[in-house]
Structure formats: C-alpha cells, structure tokens
C-alpha cells in the first residue's frame, strides 16, 4: 500500500500560507515539520506550497504521494535514546516552475500567503545576469523570487498589507540581507520602478536566519526494515535528529503570526543573530574539529564513541564547559543548556559520524571554529586554554599522516599537504626539530590570516604538547591537560 491521502485517513487540507523554495530533506525535516507541529498543537491552520528551485527535483514524487511523507526523529533527549515517526501533512502541493510557470506566478495572487522560506543550497542565493522578467522561468532563486514579488505588487496594486516575511535558510552569513540585495538588483536592471522598490523596502521583511538540525535524509540502507515497520510504501521517508534550532533575526511581531511558543518549538526571534551564530560555530563545530586529531590519534573512530569514552569524553566536555563557554557573551545558563544539547547530539546512537569524515580541511576549520576561542580566552583570562592548544598540537601531529603503523588519509588543499610533507620529512627527531615544525605551521599566514607565533606563549605551549605526543603517544600525553 502506497502512502497517499486515500491511505492516510487523517489527511487534512489547510489554507496555503507559506511558499517554500526547495523540496529537499532538510526543509521537509525542519520547516515543514514545524508547520505540521503548529497545525497540530497551536491551531496555525496553514500549509506550505513547495516550489522546485531546479529543473530536476522531487516535486512529482511529492505530488504522487499527495505531499505526504513519514519523518523519523531520532537521537538522545534527557539522557535517553529517542526514536519517533509521524506522517507529515503540512505541504499542500508542489510546483515545478520550469514546467508550470503561470501556476507558479499565481501563488503571488493568494492574499493568505504570508511567508516565504528557502533552502536552495549555499550557491542558491546568487545573481544570474541571464535571468529576465518576461522570458519564462528564471534560473536563479532570487530571480524567481523577484518575479513573484513583482507579480504580487501588481496584483494588489502596491497594497502595504500584502508584503511578505521572507526567511532564507541557506547556510551563508547574513542570508536575508544578501537575498534582498540581489532582489533589488533585479528590480533595477529589469526597470521595475521606484514604487516597487519602495514596496519591497517598506512592506516586505527579509530576515537573516540560522538553522540547526542534522538531517541524514532517506534511510537508503535500512529502507526495507523501515517499510516493514510502517506497513506502507513511502518513497520520501526522511530522517532527522531530535534537536532543532531556528534563530530568526526580525521583528517580534513574527511571533504573533507563527504560534512558536504554543507549539513548543525552539525558534528564537531576535534583534541580532550574531551571538547565536558565534555560539553554534564555537560550541558545535569547534569541539568537532578539536576532537578529531585527539580522538583519532587515541585510537577512536567515531564522534559517539569519543564523547562516551572515559578519557576523550572528559577532554571534550572540559574543552566546551571550561574553555569555549568562557569566551562567549550569552547568558551562562543558556550556554550550558545549549552545550548539554550538543553533547547529547554527539552521543546520538542512530548517527555514525566518523571522525575522518569531519577531518576534511581541518586546518581552515581550526582557524574559523577554534582559533577565535583561543584568542578570546587569552584576551579575557590572560592565559592560553590548555585543551584547545593541545588540540592544535595534536592537529600538527595528525598531519604527519601516521597513526602508529597505519597511514592517515589526509584531505586538505595541496599547499597545506605539501607544507606538512616537507616539514615532517625533514624532521630529525629532535625537540628543536619539532619546534621548527610548530613555528613554520603557525607562521603559515595563507591559512591563518596572521602569524600565530605572535600570540604570546603559543609557540612554546604547542611545542611542549607536540614533544609530549611524539615521545609518549597520545594516551599518555593527554593526561597533561586533564
């Protein structure tokens, strides 16, 4: 039996209030799940129309199932493994604008539409000079959006009450601002007039946003077991973690229209999302990058086993709570709560996250995710954070490319790999030789954007830890910082 509204007897139809550019796993496990939850628990009474941003996509498959699909949420919550599943009934229909462009434009004529969301990948918010207003479907997402907004402007004759709240979810900094900038650029080159520009500026709200939920997607490896468990066929089964966070930089009035709190959703509407972006990069991404060389050289393979390990687990815990949290400005209780959730996410028994899959481009990752914590800790405390510095020493050892007798498959830019290959191949085994390696790596401004040897005591501290790792091995060396 296939999943359709004939099969799903609880099927409901809701007014279309949101247009969504993107039909992929993430939005269906994130935004569409939240709309489903708001309908169930907070009487939102709204549905999502999905627009396929590329010529090839899942819209036909979505429509074949009456836009129904099963979402599994699994992870650790309050220390316990949790696994639930539910049929999502929040999408009304899907449109392929390349095939049904007039049907796409008609979305702008619906007075009940209030929100636009998108996830068209990081490359999606981009200008395409070949996009035109009246030559069929535009290729770029901002081009399609501009055409839709202009059609709405004309339909309602510039009515101030018919503007929209636009919330992009693409993982680029200041995504809302960049999207608006490109829309206004199209307005100018398409000669859409000052009245339209004024309507965009005064009556439409472009919000920057930050999204956070790991979505593994379609469970390809276990779909037979999933189908047997469900008792019906679903070609769009989706899997996400339990944790979710959506930070929206915009007016508090958004909460008057989206019943966030009543539905118990972890959505924060804030005046400035910068602290939250910093928090995510430092507390989620930072420990990921910092643990990789330490845990891998210790002999571990996955994030889960690292966080659960007696020694490495303590290293990661202390690195977050004693060092990284100390560099952030949000309320301490909020930072601790977020960190607790991160640890649970790392422990997720349903996700096998290999350390080596995170190891790609570790040098640039350390620069953006961990170095700011090092310098800010030094700035505030007047001393270096031991575990973050130990991680940097471990990273230099990791790029030696050996774990005992085993070769490490390093993946980074050629210039980084060449730098390390040259340095380690010339190493004579002496402490002075190790200091030379550290000094050369820290001086590599192409990666760091500065000479890290200028940070007080950093060269000596990294050298001390690298000597210890080389002479004693990771299992003994780590004891110095615990």
Contact (CB, 8 A) for 205 and 256: no
Residue 387 lies in a domain: yes
Alpha carbon distance, N-terminus to C-terminus of the chain: 56
Q: Is residue 155 part of a domain?
A: yes
Q: What is the pLDDT of residue 357?
A: 84
Among residues 252, 170, 250, 212, the alpha carbon closest in space to that of 338 is found at 212
Q: In angstroms, rounded to a whole number, what is the distance separating the alpha carbons of residues 466 and 205?
A: 51
CA distance 431 to 422: 17
The token duo for 352 is 């096998």
Q: What is the mean pLDDT of residues 440-455?
A: 97
Q: Is residue 1 part of a domain?
A: no
Report the Cα 255 to chain-centroid distance in Å: 23
The first and second tokens of residue 72, run together, are 């599994």
CA atoms of 252 and 100, how far apart (whole Å): 36
- SS3 readout for 225-285: HHHHHHCCECCCCEEEECCCEEEEECCCCHHHHCCCCCCCCCEEEECCCHHHHHHHHHHHH
**pTM of the prediction?**
0.82
Query: pLDDT grade, residue 53 (50/70/90)?
Result: very high
Contact residues for 282 (Cβ-Cβ < 8 A; gap 6+): 324, 327, 328, 369, 372, 373
Q: What is the mean pLDDT of residues 380-409?
A: 97
Which pLDDT score, from 0 to 100, does residue 119 have?
95
Report the sign of the C-alpha dihedral through residues 438, 443, 445, 450, in that order: positive
DSSP class of residue 413 equals -
pLDDT given for residue 80 in this prediction:
87
Is there a single domain that holds both residue 195 and residue 138? yes
Distance (Å) of CA 165 to CA 42, 297, 466, 467:
20, 48, 52, 56
Per-residue model confidence (pLDDT) at position 216: 85
The answer to whether residue 5 sits within a structural domain is no
As a whole number of angstroms, the longest Cα–Cα distance in the chain is 77
Question: Which of 271, 297, 323 is the endpoint of a domain?
Answer: 271
Q: Place 232 in a pLDDT band, splitting at 50, 70 and 90.
A: very high
Question: What's the rounded mean pLDDT across residues 348-353?
Answer: 85
pLDDT band at 221 (very low <50, low <70, confident <90, very high): confident
pLDDT band at 28 (very low <50, low <70, confident <90, very high): very high
pLDDT over 90 at 351, yes or no: no
Is residue 29 assigned to a domain?
A: yes
Query: CA nearest 480: which of 387, 374, 383, 373?
Result: 387
CB 282 within 8 A of CB 369: yes
- Compute the C-alpha angle 97/102/107, nearest 5°: 80
Is residue 11 within 8 Å of 5, Cβ to Cβ? yes
Is 264 found in the same domain as 370? no
* Domain containing residue 292: CATH number: 1.10.1040.10
Spatial distance between the Cα atoms of 202 and 197, rounded to a whole number of angstroms: 9
- C-alpha dist (Å) from residue 342 to 78, 244, 306, 370, 379: 12, 11, 14, 16, 26
Of 277, 274, 299, 296, residue with least CA distance to 286: 277
pLDDT of the residue at 167: 98
List b or e across 186-206, with b for residues whose CB sees 16 or more CB atoms inside 10 angstroms.
Answer: bbeebebeeebeebbeeebbb
User: Do 459 and 333 reside in the same domain of the chain?
Assistant: yes
pLDDT of residue 171: 84
Interval 244-271: pLDDT, tens: 999 999 999 999 999 999 999 999 999 9
DSSP conformation class of 169? -
> In this structure, what DSSP letter does residue 125 have?
S
Q: Are residues 242 and 333 in the same domain?
A: no
In the chain, % helix, strand, coil (3-state, to 5) comes to 50, 15, 35
Confidence of residue 231 (pLDDT cuts 50, 70, 90): very high
Query: Is 250 within 8 Å of 206 (Cβ atoms)?
Result: no
Q: Are 256 and 307 in a shared domain? A: no
Higher pLDDT, 66 or 357: 66
Instruction: Please indicate, yes or no, whether residues 263 and 279 belong to a single structural domain of this protein.
Output: no
Last residue of a domain, one of 214, 246, 271: 271
State the pLDDT at residue 385. Answer: 98
Instruction: Please state, in angstroms and rounded to a whole number, the distance separating the CA atoms of residues 253 and 206.
Output: 14
Is the pLDDT assigned to residue 122 strictly greater than 80?
no
Do residues 150 and 209 share a domain?
A: yes
pLDDT band (50, 70, 90) for residue 469: very high
Number of domains in the chain: 2
Residue 353 binned pLDDT confidence (cut-offs 50, 70, 90):
confident
The DSSP code for 437 is H
Last residue in a domain, options 204, 239, 271: 271
Query: In terms of DSSP bridges, do strands 80-88 and 69-77 run parallel, antiparallel, or are they unpaired?
Result: antiparallel
Segment 292-304 shows an average pLDDT of 96
What span, in angstroms and rounded, lies between the C-alpha atoms of 106 and 88? 25
What CATH number should be reported for the domain holding residue 265? Answer: 3.40.50.720
Say whether both 233 and 374 belong to one domain.
Answer: no
pLDDT at 291: 97
Cα separation values, 66 from 128, 405, 445, Å: 33, 55, 54
Q: Say yes or no: 309 and 245 in one domain.
A: no
147-198 pLDDT tens trace: 999 999 999 999 999 999 999 999 888 999 999 999 999 999 999 999 999 9
What is residue 350's predicted lDDT score, i.e. its pLDDT?
Answer: 86
Reported as a pLDDT band with limits 50, 70 and 90, residue 397 is very high
Does residue 222 have a pLDDT over 80? Answer: yes
DSSP string, 435-454: HHHHHHHHT-HHHHSS-GGG
Mean pLDDT of 371-388: 98
Higher pLDDT, residue 123 or 470: 470
481 DSSP 8-state letter: G
Q: Any idea what DSSP says for residue 400?
A: T
Indicate whether 201 belongs to any domain.
Answer: yes
User: What is the residue whose two structure tokens read 């310098």?
Assistant: 375
Rg (CA), the chain: 25
pLDDT at 468 over 80: yes
Residue 40 has a pLDDT of 97
Are 344 and 242 members of one domain?
no
| pLDDT for position 87 | 98
Structural domain contains residue 288? yes
Residues 96, 176, single domain; the answer is yes
Q: How far is Cα of residue 413 from the mean position of the Cα atoms in its chain?
A: 23
pLDDT at position 438: 98
Q: How many CB atoms lie within 10 A of CB 219?
A: 16
The answer to whether residues 160 and 105 belong to one domain is yes
Q: 36 lies in which domain range?
A: 16-271
Residue 361 falls within a domain, yes or no?
Answer: yes
CA 399/CA 411 separation, integer angstroms: 10
**What is residue 375's predicted lDDT score, i.e. its pLDDT?**
98
């Amino acid at each position: 039996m296939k999943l359709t509204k004939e099969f799903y007897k609880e099927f409901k139809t809701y007014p279309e209030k949101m247009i969504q550019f993107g039909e992929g796993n993430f939005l269906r496990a994130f935004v569409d799940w939240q709309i489903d939850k708001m309908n169930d628990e907070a009487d939102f009474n709204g549905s999502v129309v999905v627009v396929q941003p590329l010529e090839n996509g899942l819209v036909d498959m979505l429509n074949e199932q009456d836009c129904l699909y099963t979402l599994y949420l699994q992870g650790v919550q309050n220390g316990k493994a949790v696994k639930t599943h539910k049929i999502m009934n929040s999408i009304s229909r899907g449109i392929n604008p390349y095939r049904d462009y007039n049907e796409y434009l008609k979305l702008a004529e619906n007075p009940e539409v209030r929100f636009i969301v998108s996830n068209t990948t990081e490359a999606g918010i981009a200008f395409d000079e070949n996009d035109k207003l009246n030559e069929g479907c535009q290729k770029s997402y901002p081009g399609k959006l501009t055409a839709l907004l202009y059609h709405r402007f004309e339909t309602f004759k510039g009515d101030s009450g018919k503007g929209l709240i636009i919330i992009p979810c693409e993982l680029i900094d200041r995504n809302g601002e960049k999207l608006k900038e490109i829309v206004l650029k199209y307005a100018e080159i398409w000669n859409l007039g000052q009245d339209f520009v004024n309507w965009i500026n005064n009556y439409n709200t472009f919000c920057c946003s930050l999204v956070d939920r790991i979505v593994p997607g379609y469970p390809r490896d276990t779909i037979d077991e999933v189908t047997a468990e469900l008792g019906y066929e679903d070609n769009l089964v989706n899997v996400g973690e339990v944790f979710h966070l959506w930070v929206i930089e915009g007016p508090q009035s958004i909460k008057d229209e989206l019943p966030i709190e009543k539905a118990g959703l972890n959505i924060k509407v804030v005046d400035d999302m910068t602290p939250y972006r910093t928090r995510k990069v430092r507390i989620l991404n930072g420990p990921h990058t910092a643990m990789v060389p330490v845990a891998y050289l210790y002999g571990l393979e996955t994030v889960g086993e690292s966080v659960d390990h007696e020694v490495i687990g303590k290293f990661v815990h202390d690195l977050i709570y004693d060092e990284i949290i100390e560099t952030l400005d949000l309320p301490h209780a909020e930072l601790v709560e977020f960190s607790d959730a991160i640890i649970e996410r790392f422990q997720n028994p349903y996700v096998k996250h290999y350390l080596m899959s995170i190891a790609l481009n570790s040098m640039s990752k350390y620069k953006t995710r961990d170095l700011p914590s090092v310098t800010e800790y030094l700035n505030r405390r007047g001393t270096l954070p031991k575990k973050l510095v130990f991680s940097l020493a471990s990273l230099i050892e990791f790029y030696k490319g050996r774990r005992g007798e085993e070769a490490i498959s390093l993946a980074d830019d050629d210039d980084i790999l060449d730098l390390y290959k040259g340095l380690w191949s010339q190493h004579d085994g002496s402490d002075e030789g190790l200091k030379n390696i550290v000094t050369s790596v820290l001086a590599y401004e192409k990666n760091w954007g500065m000479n890290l040897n200028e940070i007080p005591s950093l060269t000596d501290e990294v050298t001390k830890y690298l000597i210890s790792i080389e002479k004693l091995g990771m299992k003994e060396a780590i004891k110095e910082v615990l």
